[in-house]
Structure formats: structure tokens, C-alpha cells
Amino acid sequence: MPASSSQGRDSVTALIERLIRHRLSVAVAESLTGGLVMTALTSVPGASAVVRGGVVAYATAVKRDVLGVDAKLLDERGAVDADVAREMARGVRELIGADFGVATTGVAGPDGQDGKAPGVVFVAVDTPFNNWYRELLLDGDRDAIRTRAAVAALELLTEVLGAIGRD
């Protein structure tokens, strides 16, 4: 879904158009994807109407200090965890004042992190009413894992929009 292919561009464009049509905004918190989700969203003309901003929280301290991820959770489970992704999504949504918060955290490799192997990824979407997440086990090299994680985050946002009746 990142805008590297025509199908990906079309999917991101459709997502942005849906957000515009429903006057919904989005904010993004990224770790392993390092800005790929935001790059995909902002590649669409008109995205400024709905994309509020984002935080690249590559360091664990940024997840804690900027996004408000619970320090005890980070100490006990590490930064690569479903609940961390969920808290990142909530934190960025609240920090930036958006309708949706989207988050990515995981291990792109080549080495593991926090006891997790390369390819373990969590993506999450938060709204004021609910929070969704997905755990992924991706294979491939570092670039492939990062790209596929960004795609998964955007796909989850698209699914959430459908689930809440925003088609």
C-alpha cells in the first residue's frame, strides 16, 4: 500500500478520500517503519485535509516520554508488543488530536530485539471508542519487513474504517 506501486497508490488514495469524505483525521506513531506510513499517506494530493501529524518513536524513551506508553509495560515486555502498539496509537491520537491513531512497532532485523525475532511486528489503530491491533510475523530482508509493516498498518486503518461504517 505504500505508494511504490500503482495498486498501492490507488489504495492509499482511496483511504485518504474516505477520510476526507467523512471528515476524519489521522495521526501516526511509527517505530520500525521510520516514517513509511506517513510518507504513503502524505504522497496523496489533498492529504493535508486529514493527516494531522506523526511521531517517529524509534527509541523506547520516546515511546514512553512523548507517546505516554506505560514505563512498566516497556520494562516488562519491551517495545515490541501488542499493548505497546495499542498505547502508541492511543498516545499519538491524543497528543495530536486526531480521530484515528495508527502505530507500528516491531523488529526489522537483521538482529532480534527484546527477545523477539526479526519480522515480529505489531500494528494498531485507536479511536476514542475502541482499539484494534494485529500481530504479524513477516519474512524477508529489513526493507521488505518495514514496507510490509507499513502496508499492514494502512490496511488495518482501512478495515477499521469499514468496521465502523465509514465506507
**SS3 readout for 62-86:** HHHHCCCCCHHHHHHHCCCCHHHHH
Query: How far, in Å, CA of 69 to CA of 82, rounded?
Result: 12
Q: Is the pTM of this model over 0.85?
A: yes
Domains of the chain are 6-163 (3.90.950.20)
Q: Are strands 120-126 and 51-56 parallel, antiparallel or unpaired?
A: unpaired
CA angle, residues 147, 149, 155, in degrees to nearest 5: 105
Rg (CA), the chain: 15
Residue 167 pLDDT: 72
What would the grid cell of residue 24 be? 476524519
- 47-78: pLDDT as tens digits: 999 999 999 999 999 999 999 999 999 999 99
